Structure 1
Amino acid sequence: MWLAIAVLFGSVLGAGWLTRLIPTAHTTWLKPLLAFSGAYLFTLTVTHLLPEALQLSPDSHRVGYFVLAGFFGQLLLEVFSQGVEHGHIHHHTGHAGRVPFLLLFALVLHSFMEGSILVRTPAAGDIARNFYTVVAGVALHHIPAAIALMAALMLRLGRFTRALPYLLLFALASPAGVLVSNYVALDALLQNGWYAALLGLVAGNFLHVSTTILFETSPEHRLNMPKLTATVLGAGLALLVS
């Protein structure tokens, strides 16, 4: 459990720290990483999250409603997060000196929900058996998000040290979700199919994020070997580690 928390925290902090070394003005290098993480997340959702949500729920139709809520709820969150969840880097310098609190709130909520499905108990079925497979998917997804967040914060705040506390807030969100689900709300989640509903909600969220990533990395609909290779590797790895 604590290894998972360390991985989730470290992936965000490490990726954010990379912005001190790698310029974000040109993001061509980020697209294969996005394609890899998007393919991994999509495969993970289809092969683990959705089947497990349907299996655990006393009413499979109910899960469908939560998947829809997660999918369209992510659309609403992106009004505030500006697509940072799927690696959108904004280079405009408007609102200089101001912290984008709405963006941070949306990103932290998104991250907390992702961490909350990471329950390691036999009652969680396939998610518990493939716990670190799901952890890896969440961590991979957070790497481009952390880079995009730091790029936005650096443009507004000017210095890495001023942006660092907000990166830490994002880094703590998923671990907080893990701790709440496993040590505070576990019994309530496992009653009356609420954990299945949460899986459905996050699955819908993941479907939106991952498909957006995959479509945006090839907007011209042409064969791009680096992106195609990264996509195949991401999907293949998700299947392999299962």
Structure 2
Amino acid sequence: MIILLLILSVLAGVFLGKYFGNKKAFAKNLLILSAGFLITICLNEVFPKVYDSGNHHIGIWVIAGVLLQMLLENLTKGFEHGHFHHHSEGKGILPLALMIGMFIHAFLEGIPLANEEHVLSPYLTGILFHNLPISFILGAFLVYRGKFSPASWLIISVFALASPLGLLLGKYFNPEWEVYFLALVGGIFLHISSVIIFEGSKNHNVDWKKVGLVILGILMAMVAHLFHQH
């Protein structure tokens, strides 16, 4: 069921991108909403679990996640937080480096789900919500003349299966390693959500719409947290 949800979240975002990809404001708002959701999941769920492990050096893994995401962005060029250019002459083909960066990112997210017993746990909902805007941008980028080419479908399939592959591989790891991967992904999420939330507004004025979307994302994450507790 978790694998199915991971795949469906990517496909849902891709098809939203196909039909609404020209609405850049929609993509931006979805990214900001997901950032508020994601940073709340990090601070409310991921980090308490990570630091409750009793490993006094676990913070190094969180920092490693932040640094890893910075390195991955050399490949993805900020694709994860909406920095992309839709060139029609690209005919729905993504650069190989970008594909590799996105695959690594999604693959690592799936590993901590290997021993997850609860469908729609806060961590999983964070990934599902995070998948939507990224997949939206992916769908908008890959659509060419109103449809996806066979190459586009291959790229979508690879991305959709990355987290499930991480989940399946994680089942062969020592369960004690889970907290390290969770810390690593927590650092990745922290970096991505922080960049989206704190990205400078024009003339450094307060963007009240952005603030409202972040608060909405936070409230949605809090509801998911309370729902999971009960």
Structure 1 residue runs of 5 or longer lacking an equivalent are: 122-127
Amino acid across the alignment from 1:118: L
Structure 2 equivalent of residue 199 of structure 1: 182
Amino acid across the alignment from 2:61: F
Is the 1:36–1:233 contact (alpha carbons within 8 Å) kept by the matching residues of 2?
yes
How far apart, CA to CA, are the structure 2 residues paired with 1:97 and 1:237?
33
The one of 197, 211, 235 equivalent to 2:194 is 211
Is the 1:25–1:91 contact (alpha carbons within 8 Å) kept by the matching residues of 2?
no
Distance change >3 Å, CA 47–CA 150, structure 1 → 2: same
Aligned 1:23-42 pairs, distance under 5 A: 24-42=21-39
Amino acid across the alignment from 1:229: G
How far apart, CA to CA, are the structure 1 residues paired with 2:6 and 2:178?
21
- How much does 1:240 deviate? 2.3
How far apart, CA to CA, are the structure 2 residues paired with 1:220 and 1:197?
40
Residue 167 in 1 paired to residue 156 in 2? yes
How far apart, CA to CA, are the structure 2 residues paired with 1:161 and 1:45?
36
Is the 2:35–2:214 contact (alpha carbons within 8 Å) kept by the matching residues of 1?
yes
How far apart, CA to CA, are the structure 2 residues paired with 1:104 and 1:53?
29
- How much does 1:222 deviate? 2.9
How far apart, CA to CA, are the structure 1 residues paired with 2:92 and 2:103?
21
Amino acid across the alignment from 1:136: T
Is the 1:89–1:151 contact (alpha carbons within 8 Å) kept by the matching residues of 2?
no
Structure 1 equivalent of residue 228 of structure 2: none
> Structure 2-normalised TM-score?
0.86
Is the 1:89–1:149 contact (alpha carbons within 8 Å) kept by the matching residues of 2?
no
Structure 2 equivalent of residue 21 of structure 1: 19
CA deviations over 1:158-202 (Å, ceiling 9, x no partner): 951231210111011111122222x322xx132xxx222211111
Structure 2 equivalent of residue 9 of structure 1: 7
Distance change >3 Å, CA 226–CA 34, structure 1 → 2: same
Is the 2:10–2:132 contact (alpha carbons within 8 Å) kept by the matching residues of 1?
yes
How far apart, CA to CA, are the structure 1 residues paired with 2:90 and 2:143?
12
- How much does 1:84 deviate? 1.5
Distance change >3 Å, CA 54–CA 115, structure 1 → 2: same
How far apart, CA to CA, are the structure 2 residues paired with 1:116 and 1:26?
33
The one of 26, 48, 53 equivalent to 1:51 is 48
Is the 2:114–2:168 contact (alpha carbons within 8 Å) kept by the matching residues of 1?
no
- How much does 1:98 deviate? 5.3
Greater shift in the superposed pair: 93-102 or 162-171: 93-102
Give the root-mean-square deviation of aligned CA atoms. 2.5
Amino acid across the alignment from 1:216: E
Aligned 1:149-168 pairs, distance under 5 A: 149-154=138-143, 159-162=147-150, 163-168=152-157
Aligned 1:71-220 pairs, distance under 5 A: 71-92=66-87, 99-120=94-115, 132-154=121-143, 159-162=147-150, 163-181=152-170, 183-185=171-173, 188-190=174-176, 194-216=177-199, 218=201, 220=203
How far apart, CA to CA, are the structure 2 residues paired with 1:221 and 1:130?
41
The one of 211, 220, 223 equivalent to 2:206 is 223
Structure 2 equivalent of residue 124 of structure 1: none
Amino acid across the alignment from 1:189: P
How far apart, CA to CA, are the structure 2 residues paired with 1:145 and 1:217?
20
Greater shift in the superposed pair: 213-222 or 141-150: 213-222
SS of corresponding position for 1:197: helix
CA deviations over 1:53-93 (Å, ceiling 9, x no partner): 11124x22x21111111101101101111112223231346
- How much does 1:130 deviate? 8.6
